[in-house]
Chain A
Amino acid sequence: MELAPLLQYLISGLTNGAIYALIALGFVIIYHATTIINFAQGEMVMLGALSAISIYHLYPSLPLAFLGGVALVTLVGIVFERLALRPVRDPNPITLIIITVGGAVFIKGVAMLLWGKEAYSLPSFSGDAPFHLGTATILPQNLWVLGLTAVVLLGMEAFFRLTLVGKAMRACAYNPRAARLVGISLGRMVQLSFALSAALGAGAGILIAPLTLGVYDMGTMLGLKGFCAAILGGLGSSFGGVLGGLILGVAESLATGLISSGYRDAVAFFILLLVLFIRPQGLIRGGS
């Protein structure tokens, strides 16, 4: 086995993995606060990418497109929680999870009406000239993805461990009743978790848009991969989610390169099944 292509597979896998990690973090945040899985997470990624592209077409400034896209999708996340989940009479997790699945289908449909079925592109953040890294090449955009994922991960850990709001959010997942007794507003925490995870999803979408283009149905598969990553990492832990994402990305890339390109998507779900059978608690045991 030559080493030259391996490094390239690794780079490609880590980039995709970082995106899965960001999406997985979105799952983890909502799980932290509510113990539900938000299957509309993938659609937030798509919304992020497409709104940033639209903003960029109106006013060609990348920082503005990035911030605008994230802000818009955060709003969508809040509204989604408010209109679809909050009014539910019987808020047991299964009901809520099924509602998020419905929400995902709805959001995708609306996106199809708004943007049509075509794909759109966004320019790279800092040019398209690849760097050479030994025998492999890497794009500035790959570095952006990896760097921002690292920053977000550290920020999240700090938020959940060090700030009062972060701790309050975790408390809601451990024991909602006790949390309420000590004066934490459960509703506000849930809302915050949806806002945060929508923002993360949107960020992920905008980061990869220059690499993968933006199209209305990109969210479903990304959401599922992010979910696999979150499960692989153990749902309760941010580090676990990131680790899960990176492992998944690299495994996919290696399977495509070394075995056959047909197995790419199968790898994620094979790993998911394997984890559920062998180590259902995930690689890193979560908080709850």
Chain B
Amino acid sequence: MRRTVILCGLVMALAGLVLLWVGCGPKATSEPFVVGGIFSITGPASYLGEPERNSMEMVAEEVNSKGGVSGRPLKVVIYDDEGDVTKARLHAEKLLQKDKAVTIIGPSLTHTSMAVLEITQKAKLPLISCAAGLAITSPAKDRVWVFKTAQTDQMAVNRIYQYLQKQGLKKLAILTVSTGFGVAGKEQLLTQAPKFELAVVAQEVFGEKDTDMTPQLTKIRGTEAQAVICWGTGPAPALVAKNMKQLAMTIPLIQSHGAASKKFIELAGDAGEGIILPAGKLVIYNQLPDTDPQKAVCKEYATKYTAKFKTPESSFGGYAYDALRMLLIALEKSGGDQAKIRDELEKIKKFVGVSGVFNMSPEDHNGLTPDAFVMVKISNGQFKFLD
């Protein structure tokens, strides 16, 4: 009798130990995956950074409420670089040394991304940039550890020129902002023009904060240009539209994807009618045919974002949304090893994101084609899907 009691006690103790050990198992590895984020949340590019931060936090919250990645919670550490190169570098060092991030998402801008990628490349840390610049991931053989989710200017220009060619236009004027966005756009506009048999007959520039572009447009009015392409972000492109109406110019105005926001339509008002621009599919997802795989993804993102933040969704937030969702796939497959995360990111194929369908490869760390853009036209204060 006594023996049985002792035996039972032993069994119970053993079982308890086993249970404890099992219980310890997930606990020992339930250290969170730390993912860093560097965005321009304040400062002149806050229209990019704010939705990017929101989107990243939104995905992380959702993942954690569903039990995390492979049973481990996801911890996002996000810093604000204010669009400043020095701050971006500092935050990258902090994420690397102090927070021990396994991957960094961001920065929001091309020049800050170029600064941060020097650090992450050296540290062999995967970086998924949310900026447009082509040079961030190209040439891919030099950018082993860098990926990006934003469409490049090259694709936007390609889309616009395809459209102009279809319309039979030959001569165009370009009006670009003097910031990095405009300079990169201008370069692409000039280098791709001969390929589409287009002649750039006027090149004008304006400042980011300029409020009167009539002198530049007056000059353009004096040339034979058949269309004006304006490359800028913020309120200035809307003023270009207004100024063209003021000068009674009737040639078509084409804006860059930098103007693809509801805010632009609001600011340009009546002057915005008839403007044509390339845009990510998010702005017109309702008008996409149901066969388009991006329709559902865009709809889900837009619904969740507006429900959570009570502000309209933007394509910019989509960059961070796609980046983190792709990273989740890589994390799940790699178990958190940095080199393996990189390998898995490179293997991602046919990933349907908000900004396009991504097909990563060792030669292409962006994975998008010009099809990621659609041409839209503003009519009755709404974006209308053209093709």
Complex: A254 Cα to B218 Cα, angstroms = 11
Q: Is residue B211 within 8 Å, beta carbon to beta carbon, of the partner chain?
A: yes
In contact, A265 and B207 (Cβ under 8 angstroms): yes
In contact, A257 and B216 (Cβ under 8 angstroms): yes
Q: Which residues of A201-218 are within 8 A (CB) of B? A: 208, 211-213, 215, 217-218
Residue from B204, B248, B270 within 8 A of A137 (CB atoms): B248
Chain B residues with CB below 8 A from A187, complex form? none
In contact, A130 and B246 (Cβ under 8 angstroms): yes
In contact, A256 and B269 (Cβ under 8 angstroms): no
Complex interface: stretch among A34-42, A76-84, A115-123, A277-285: A115-123
In contact, B206 and A261 (Cβ under 8 angstroms): yes
In contact, A212 and B47 (Cβ under 8 angstroms): no
Tell me if A's interface is mostly helix, strand, loop or mixed: helix
Chain A residues with CB below 8 A from B46, complex form? 117
Contact string, B157-184, partner A, CB cutoff 8 A, digits 1/0?
Answer: 0000000000000000000001000000
Q: Is residue B118 within 8 Å, beta carbon to beta carbon, of the partner chain?
A: no
* CB-CB nearest in chain A for B210: A264
Q: Which residues of A181-231 are within 8 A (CB) of B? A: 208, 211-213, 215, 217-218, 221
What's the least CB distance linking A257 to chain B, in Å? 4
In contact, B215 and A12 (Cβ under 8 angstroms): yes
Q: Which residues of A241-280 are within 8 A (CB) of B? A: 253-254, 256-257, 260-262, 264-265
In contact, A218 and B245 (Cβ under 8 angstroms): no
What's the least CB distance linking B319 to chain A, in Å? 19
Q: Which residues of A3-17 are within 8 A (CB) of B? A: 4-5, 8-9, 11-12, 15-16
Complex: A181 Cα to B234 Cα, angstroms = 55
Given known A-B contacts A2-B222, A139-B246, A261-B205, A213 and B238 have beta carbons under 8 A apart? yes
Q: Is residue B235 within 8 Å, beta carbon to beta carbon, of the partner chain?
A: yes
Residue from B209, B214, B269 within 8 A of A8 (CB atoms): B214
Q: Which residues of B235-270 are within 8 A (CB) of A? A: 235, 238-239, 242, 245-248, 263, 266-267, 269-270
Residue from A2, A132, A211 within 8 A of B212 (CB atoms): A211
Chain A residues with CB below 8 A from B218, complex form? 5, 8-9, 12, 257
What's the least CB distance linking A137 to chain B, in Å? 5
In contact, B263 and A5 (Cβ under 8 angstroms): no
Chain A residues with CB below 8 A from B234, complex form? 119
Q: Is residue A128 within 8 Å, beta carbon to beta carbon, of the partner chain?
A: yes
Complex: A143 Cα to B324 Cα, angstroms = 53
In contact, A4 and B222 (Cβ under 8 angstroms): yes
Q: Which residues of A37-54 are within 8 A (CB) of B? A: none
Complex: A215 Cα to B245 Cα, angstroms = 22
Chain B residues with CB below 8 A from A212, complex form? 211-212, 239
Chain B residues with CB below 8 A from A5, complex form? 218-219, 221-222
Complex: A130 Cα to B217 Cα, angstroms = 15
* CB-CB nearest in chain B for A131: B248
Chain B residues with CB below 8 A from A211, complex form? 211-212, 242
Complex: A118 Cα to B209 Cα, angstroms = 13
In contact, A262 and B205 (Cβ under 8 angstroms): yes
In contact, B207 and A8 (Cβ under 8 angstroms): no
Residue from B212, B248, B267, B271 within 8 A of A119 (CB atoms): B267
Q: Which residues of A87-119 are within 8 A (CB) of B? A: 117-119
CB<8 Å pairs between A and B, sample of 18:
A2-B222, A119-B235, A119-B263, A121-B266, A121-B267, A121-B269, A128-B271, A130-B246, A137-B246, A137-B247, A211-B211, A213-B267, A253-B212, A253-B215, A254-B215, A257-B219, A262-B207, A264-B210
Q: Which residues of B contact A (CB under 8 A)?
A: 46-47, 178, 204-207, 209-212, 214-216, 218-219, 221-222, 234-235, 238-239, 242, 245-248, 263, 266-267, 269-271
Can you add 4 more A-B contacts, CB < 8 Å, to A128-B246, A264-B207?
A254-B215, A256-B215, A261-B204, A261-B216
